[in-house]
Amino acid sequence: MSGIVETTAVPATRFADAAGLPQARRRQLKGYAFATPAALLLLCIYIVPLITLLVMSLTDYRLGAVVTQFVGLDNFSRAFSDPVFRRAFTNTLLYVAIVIPLGVGLALLIATLIHSRVRSRSFYEVVYFLPVTSTLVAMAAVWQFILHPRLGPVNAVLKSFGIGEIAFLSNPALIIPTLAIIGVWQVIGFNIILFLAGLSAIPRDLYDAARVDGVSRPLDRFLTVTWPMLGPTVMFVAVTTSITAFKVFETVAVLTRGRDGSEVLLYALYLEGFEYFQMGYAAALTLIFLAFVLFLSIGQALHLDRKVHY
């Protein structure tokens, strides 16, 4: 018919594709726009300093020097032959070997005892969390008085038992264990809070089912219910405690200043970089420290992850 105009049907998918492609592209660009500030911040705070540290470790750069020479891997070979660095590395390992088991084990024990209390639980939580809120540099002066050979209360108690004065912070055999005990005091409060959170998340039905199955003793209930269910919390606490232990610096800097063979890794880095101004060598020591902590944390997490019940 002449009065009817014939039209050609256009598939709806054509318009959908034509409209959908720009919309998807706009969403992609919006995603890039939201991610760009975080990526730039990550680049400026972590990536660029790490690259700078790597480049600096390959030179003999001294703080304030105008001329710098490329020395390759000489700083790394010097580190492994340096007796001070080896002693600092050994002291750090001894410190970590004391802090990790005591910081995790005692925190778990105390958290288990506190968790069963009703009225006094909040009081104990505040008391044990106080070391976390205090500044360790300020508390170092308190520890220096507590451990003083003549004026300190610790030696006063020892004298009452007929034990002579003990120089906790000047005896080379006791310095690192003493600093480790202070480190345990520092981390145990935060670990207790984490364990209390993990204990609160365990369903009570599991304990009721354990009693029905004949598990009546508290130790048996802990081994069959509490310990497996606390696996993720234990793994997190162990990894964070190990990282904190490796970063020990304040107690050494304030209490001993590295004397009597009490150097640790971070304090050795500080001396080389900001006391002796050997920034290239300090950068190499920093990379060795970061690599060791990284591999240890990853290995620890992978080892514990196989034994964790999620």
Whether 180 shows a pLDDT value over 90: the answer reads yes
Give per-residue pLDDT as tens, 28-67. Answer: 888 888 999 999 998 999 889 899 999 999 998 887 777 8
Give residue 239's Cα distance to chain centre: 6
Contact 22, 255 (CB under 8 A): no
Encoding tokens for residue 241? 């405690």
- The half-sphere exposure of 133 on its side-chain side, counting CA atoms within 13 A, is 7
Helix, strand or coil, per DSSP, at residue 29:
helix
**Averaged over 22-26, what is the pLDDT?**
79
Q: Is the pLDDT confidence value at 19 over 50?
A: no
pLDDT of residue 1: 45
- Lowest mean pLDDT: which of 34-48, 126-140, 283-297? 126-140
Cα 128 from Cα 3, distance rounded (Å): 92
C-beta separation of 289 from 269 below 8 A: yes
- How far apart CA 251 and CA 267 sit, in angstroms, is 10
Q: Which amino acid is at 131?
A: P
Confidence of residue 129 (pLDDT cuts 50, 70, 90): confident
CA gap 183, 177 in Å, rounded: 10
CA–CA distances in Å: residue 7 to residues 1, 4, 13: 13, 9, 18
Structure tokens at 265: 């890794």
Q: Report yes or no: 237 and 110 within 8 Å, Cβ to Cβ.
A: no
Q: What is the mean pLDDT of residues 8-17?
A: 46
- What is the pLDDT averaged over residues 191-204? 89
pLDDT for 172 equals: 86
Tell me the H-state helices in the chain.
12-42, 48-57, 74-81, 83-115, 121-133, 136-146, 153-160, 175-200, 204-212, 218-221, 227-229, 231-246, 250-251, 265-270, 279-305
Helix (H) or strand (E) holding 83, with range, is helix 83-115
Helices 83-115 and 74-81: crossing angle in degrees, nearest 10, is 70
Here the tokens at position 198 are 């993990």
The predicted pLDDT at position 162 comes to: 83
Does the reported pTM lie above 0.95? no
Backbone angles phi, psi at 246, to 5 degrees: -70, -25
To which H or E segment does residue 120 belong? none
In the chain, the amino acid numbered 183 is G
DSSP state of 253: I
* CA–CA separation, 48 and 37 (whole Å): 15
CA atoms within 13 A on the CB side of 284: 22
What is the chain's Cα-based Rg?
29
